Amino acid sequence: MRAHQAAAAAATALVAAAAVAAAEVGAPLPHGWIGTTSQWLRGLGIAFAVLNLALLAVAWRSLRPPALTPTARGWLFVAVGLVPVMVVFLTFAHGLESSSTVASCGSCHVMTPFVQDLRDPASETLAATHFKNRYIQDHHCYTCHSDYGLAGTLSAKLGGLGHVWRYTTGSYTLPIKIAKPYSNTQCLHCHGASQKFLKSEGHPKEEMPGLMAGKSSCLDCHAPAHPELKRAASQ
C-alpha cells in the first residue's frame, strides 16, 4: 500500500513539474486548441502506419492457395500500394513543415550563435528584435530568408538541402555569411504597407523610390541583422 502511495505521489510530482515547465515556456493554449499542423501530420502518419500493419495482417490471412482471391488482392492493393503512398506523403509534408522551424535551423552547431542571439532578450540585432517583439509569429528564420510564392518556397527548401549537404560533408567556410546581398523586398513585403514604416521620419518619401528599387539597403540603417562572427576558419 505504501509503495502504491509513493508511486502515486511521484507521478503527481512529475505531472506538476511538467505543468510548471509548460507554463514557463509560454502563454497557455486557448480554449478549443486541437494541435498544430505538424502534430496532426505526425499523428496521421502514425495512424496510417498502424492501419497499414492491420491491413497487411488481414491480407495475409486472406491468402488461399493456389491463387489470390479477389478480396485478398483488394486488401493487398490498399496495404501495399495506397496506404504507403499516404504515409510517404504525410512524412514528406511533416518534414517540410519541420524544416521551417527555428529548431531545425539551429540543429547544425555552426548556426548555434545565430539562434542563441535570436532568443537573447538583451540582444539588439534585427533578428532578436523581431523575435522578442513577435513581429514574426512563427518560423522566424524561414520567414525572413524565403521569397514569395511557390518559387520562393522551392528555392528556400533547395537552399536548405544545400546547407545540410555542405554541413554534412564539411565543405563550408567560417564565419558563416549570407550567400548574396539581402533584398529589400524581403523586408518590405511585411513592413512596406505598415503605418509605422510609412510615417517614420527615417523613411522620407523622396527616399522611397530608391529603397523600393534596391539602390539603398534597409540594412544600411538597421544593421546588424545577426551578430558578427569573428572566427574565420575553413572546414
- pLDDT, tens digit (0-9, with 9 covering 90-100), for 118-173: 999 999 999 999 999 888 888 888 888 887 666 777 788 888 888 888 888 888 88
Query: What range does the domain containing 158 cover?
Result: 102-222
- Vertex 228 angle, CA 232 and 235, to 5°: 25
Asked whether residue 163 falls in the same domain as residue 207, the answer is yes
Q: Residue 163 burial (CB < 10 Å; 0-12/13-18/19+)?
A: middle
Q: CA 91, CA 84: separation in Å to the nearest integer?
A: 10
Total of domains in the chain = 2
Residue owning grid cell 513592413: 191
Instruction: Kindly state whether residue 14 falls inside one of the protein's structural domains.
Output: no
Same-domain pairing of 127 and 69: no
Q: Both 92 and 43 in a single domain?
A: yes
Q: Which of 98, 122, 148 is the last residue of a domain?
A: 98
Same domain, 41 and 94: yes
213: closest CA among 179, 180, 188?
188
Pair (83, 165) in one structural domain: no
Same domain for 108 and 87: no
Residue 201 to residue 35: CA distance in whole angstroms: 42
In a domain, 173, yes or no: yes
Which whole-number Å values give the CA distances from 38 to 102, 143, 181, in the listed order? 14, 17, 32
* Residue 130 pLDDT: 92
Closest CA relative to residue 96, chosen from 34, 173, 24, 150: 150
Residues 85, 117 within the same domain:
no
Query: Looking at the structure, do residues 147 and 79 belong to the same domain, yes or no?
Result: no
Question: Do 172 and 191 sit in the same domain of this protein?
Answer: yes
In a domain? residue 132: yes
Which of 98, 116, 146 is the last residue in one of the domains?
A: 98
> What pLDDT shows up at residue 85?
83
Rounded Cα distance, 73 and 82, in Å: 13
Four-residue CA torsion sign, 56, 61, 62, 64: positive
For the chain, list residues with pLDDT below 70. Answer: 1-33, 62-68, 148-150, 230-235
Q: Are residues 81 and 121 in the same domain?
A: no
Residues 131 and 142 sit within 8 Å (Cβ to Cβ)? no
C-alpha cell at 208: 522611397
Clarify whether residues 106 and 174 are in a common domain. yes
| Lookup: cell for 204 | 522620407
CB atoms within 10 A of CB 142: 19
Cis peptide before 204 (omega within 30 of 0): no
